[in-house]
Structure 1
Amino acid sequence: MADVTEAAPQSGGETEQKPVQVKWYRSVFYNATILGLCSFAAPGLWGAMNSLGAGGSQSPYLVNTGNALTFCLMIISCWLTSSIVKYIGITGALFVGTIGYAPYSAGLYLNNRYGVEWLVIVGAAFCGISAGIFWAAETAIAIAYPEPRNRGRMVAYWLTWTRIGQILGGAINLGLNADRNQAGKVSYTVYIVFIALQSSGTLVALLLNRPSKVQRRDGTPVQLIIYDNPWQEIKTTTKTFLTKKFLLIVLWIGQGVYSEAVFFTYNALWFSVRARALGSFLSGIVAVICGNLLGLWLDQHQISLRTRSRRAFAVIMTLQGAWWLWLTINVTEYRRTQPIFDWTDPGFGRAFGVFVLLVSGFQLNYNFSYFIIGQISSSPQETIRLAALLRGTESAWQAVSYGLNAVPVIAAVGGPYINFGLWGASLLPAWLVIKDFGADGDKSDLESHAEIQGEDLRKDESSN
């Protein structure tokens, strides 16, 4: 493929810069694709299995316990990621982060086929140790590699690959289980396919460019490096967590990610095997569409940052509230009537529709969380720390969620009630952060980013 030559933006309107030679294998799009393929193979297929409800198992309780362990360990590994990046780099961190997903799937395979339970827990532990590193690394890459002007679309593009994993997994499951209109577990053949695909993600991670090798179309360098020693980095990361802006979004992060265990358990409890597979497939498609529309909106820089951020927040949270009300009504009734819905049954649309929409809401919250981190970050180093803290906080909430959803009464009705309450409690604190975006003279995020880069360059020059 030929190299792409694009003109760099002019500085001050007077001096014309030389054209920037962008090689396709160094471009932001190439790296977003590699990151996306890794996300497809690792968390994407993890999500595909769990979108079937309980990892495809008949009962959700063992798998929810394993997932709770995964997310507990991810809290620790996320917190340590910025220190790990100092020694092995961001690409090395991504590679290490892909390793633990295949053992997780192997545990589900043995449990599904032979009833073996211990590897579900051991596989979940392996997954938790590596996945925390993966989550933090991929978030830092997704925020730092793209030009600020295209960040929203690139984040949406990358996350599309994660949902493609779910879509493909759902399609495979639907094909293998289309005749199974009763409750039960999915075919064990599914797990063999997933294990092979997840193993390939480790090799794909090696194709990611180091930050210094990435070529942006605007000619600006990617800065993603850690300078401090590990202990200092851990202390600085902890201090970043305790900042006002981050603490204010902790509940908002929680209401977004707590939902995963809730709607996956809902899918496992109240639907037939083939309906669960259909849910995995369709919800992924709808989530991709919604996520990319949000990314497109966030990149409309002719509209002020203030307007974009406030309207996105208002739409996402209004929809989330409506969907939680819908689910709360459903589970309150189903707890009493104990139905199992197949797509030929009366009431299937009402039961099924809210699952698809909640998966889409999860995607919207994910996309918007990266936007928030990009706005509150003040330096490349802080981007890595905030990315690690975001994913660590998500892991903590999901550990609580999966742990509680291993309890039958919480799985049946308590989960939606708790999540609905979290949604309400998160509105005001999150708004206190969102309302300040673009309020500083109504600057755009591009202008703010340029100021930060200019300040970093001046610091570098003064230190030399």
Structure 2
Amino acid sequence: MSESKDTITKHDPLPSPATEGADVDMGQYRATVPRWKRVWQHSLTQMILLSIQAFCGPAMADAITGLGGGGLATPHISNIATAITYALLAVVCFLGGPLVNKIGVKWALVIGSMSFPIEGSAYYCNSKFGNQWYLILSGAISGIGTACWYVAEAGAIMTLAPSGARGKYLALWIVSRNLGQLVGGAINLSKNHEKGAEGGISPDTYIAFLIIESLALPFALLITPFERVVRSDGTKIVIAETLSTKQELKRIAKTMTSKLIMLSALWALWSFFYSGTWSTYLGTYFSVRSRALSSLISPFFCIVGCFGLGFILDMKSLSQRRRAQIGLYIVVILNVGVYIWSIIMQTRFNSHNPGHIDWDDGLYASSFLPYFFIQTTGPLSQSYMYWLLSSFATDAQENVRNGAAFRCIEAIGQAIAYGMNTQTTSNPLVGFCVTFALLGVALVPMIMLVNSTPDRIPADVVAEKQDEAFEKRVDL
């Protein structure tokens, strides 16, 4: 006698990883699962929890970086510590796919969130007591902990969203990071607004950052495993069969040599290469309070830009490949404009050193605006790339591996950038030119990758086949 689908799923409306059905019986799910649990397991709720962690952790780190040289009197030690952070982050990210797939996304986020407050405390100790060894040690600890968090985050942001809302979900994530910079910038400005202040940022500024960084941990503990998440369209996340550690390690080589990563590697190297040079630029040419103001106002345009790009990438009237092509054109054109402007400004500064530019100086607007726009074009490049990577994945674990590989190469680029700026602290022109050249070199393989974008996400195709197989089995 045949059984109905409702009978099979009577005790648990969520198909387990062992079953073939990928969709959720939403009627039974609403009838049998308490509202609080449905809200908690919803993909948007999980994305918000992840975004809050991004607000408390990476966004606060970005706000400190936005002070120019970490807000210290000279950017040299900050650049050394940051270079160490990204060097270790690259190493851990290289092994991050197997690690996160073994311990789970939730516990990788917990480990990472525990490392966030260390950076704020190290900058405070350096600013208050001149303690440089702790700042450098914190760079190493943060590199390891943040790498765990970044790999888990990358896998989550590419997996949680329904196929028709990936751009908007990624925009929410990017905006949360920039809202963190907005709050951080308000803290900076409130404590560093007096004209004529010399040296570094007030030590009390870092205490506020430290408090916010400590809040990431409880939100990490609220993350639910992927197999329990229900997307807004009723689909489940496709979970592949668990692999052994040896098999996971073999997948590293397969992932790193895949067409997807090989063609996107130079873009990953370039994507955040600008951060080291712009941090040095602010620390070299801007006063304390103008650096504080820059960290407050720079996120505004990014919020509008990221949601605008998200709507374009989610347009149902265009094929996925066409949306990928349009997104690439937008990101590249905006970045080219910013880099040309920044190189022109730095060439002028090399001819005539402006000293420490204050916000009431006539030169402030033209010298600050390139930094303002790079804080939009940089995150746009990131949001677009993660959207593109998720267009190729077949399951959640593959998203984690691809995200780990991308983050590894990205961290190598950041380590090189900050290391390079420890040697070119008085002339950011070298960094601007290298970054601009990297964009040009990365563009050709990216065009090849974008033109091979599948018209449908492979994971969605897999889910549909699982559903069809499940229906056939139920009808037997």
- Superposed pair shares fold, TM > 0.5: yes
The superposition leaves residues 414-435 of structure 1 with CA deviations (integer Å, 9 ceiling, x where unpaired) of 1001101111111111101011
Structure 2: distance between partners of 1:122 and 1:177 = 27
2:464 counterpart residue number: 454
Q: Does 1:83 align with 2:89?
A: no
The superposition leaves residues 62-118 of structure 1 with CA deviations (integer Å, 9 ceiling, x where unpaired) of 111101100111112212222222432110111111122211111111111111100
1:346 counterpart residue number: 362
Which range is displaced more, 80-89 or 321-330?
Answer: 80-89
1:43 counterpart residue number: 58
The superposition leaves residues 150-207 of structure 1 with CA deviations (integer Å, 9 ceiling, x where unpaired) of 1111111122111111110001111111113455311111111111111121121001
Whether the aligned pair in 2 keeps the contact of 1:404 and 1:410 (CA below 8 Å) is no
Aligned-pair CA distance for 1:458: 7.7
Q: What secondary structure does 2:215 align onto?
A: helix
Whether the aligned pair in 2 keeps the contact of 1:85 and 1:226 (CA below 8 Å) is no
Q: How many residues align?
A: 442
Q: Which amino acid aligns with 1:395?
A: A
Distance 1:458 1:380, change over 3 A: farther
Distance 1:115 1:225, change over 3 A: farther
Of 59, 69, 72, 2:84 maps to 69
Which range is displaced more, 403-412 or 245-254?
Answer: 403-412
Whether the aligned pair in 2 keeps the contact of 1:226 and 1:381 (CA below 8 Å) is no
For structure 2, list consecutive stretches of 5 or more residues without a partner in the other structure.
1-23
Aligned-pair CA distance for 1:25: 1.7
Superposition map of 1:119-198 within 5 A: 119-198=134-213
**Structure 1 stretches of at least 4 aligned residues deviating more than 4 Å after TM superposition:** 455-462
Distance 1:413 1:141, change over 3 A: same
Aligned-pair CA distance for 1:455: 4.6
Structure whose CA Rg is larger: 2
Distance 1:201 1:137, change over 3 A: same
1:422 counterpart residue number: 438
Which range is displaced more, 27-36 or 400-409?
Answer: 400-409
1:208 counterpart residue number: 223
Tell me the TM-score normalized by structure 2: 0.88
Whether the aligned pair in 1 keeps the contact of 2:227 and 2:237 (CA below 8 Å) is yes
Q: CA RMSD in A?
A: 2.2
Q: Which amino acid aligns with 2:421?
A: N
Q: Which amino acid aligns with 2:460?
A: A
Q: Does 1:363 align with 2:379?
A: yes
Which range is displaced more, 409-418 or 155-164?
Answer: 409-418
Tell me the TM-score normalized by structure 1: 0.90
Q: What secondary structure does 2:218 align onto?
A: helix
Structure 1: distance between partners of 2:430 and 2:319 = 40
Structure 2: distance between partners of 1:435 and 1:399 = 30
Which range is displaced more, 22-31 or 277-286?
Answer: 22-31
Superposition map of 1:30-429 within 5 A: 30-224=45-239, 227-339=242-354, 340-408=356-424, 411-429=427-445
Structure 1: distance between partners of 2:313 and 2:282 = 31
Structure 1: distance between partners of 2:274 and 2:82 = 14
Superposition map of 1:428-439 within 5 A: 428-438=444-454
Structure 2: distance between partners of 1:254 and 1:345 = 35
Q: Which amino acid aligns with 1:358?
A: I
Aligned-pair CA distance for 1:399: 0.6
Structure 2: distance between partners of 1:452 and 1:263 = 43
Aligned-pair CA distance for 1:306: 2.6
1:4 counterpart residue number: none
Structure 1: distance between partners of 2:86 and 2:304 = 27
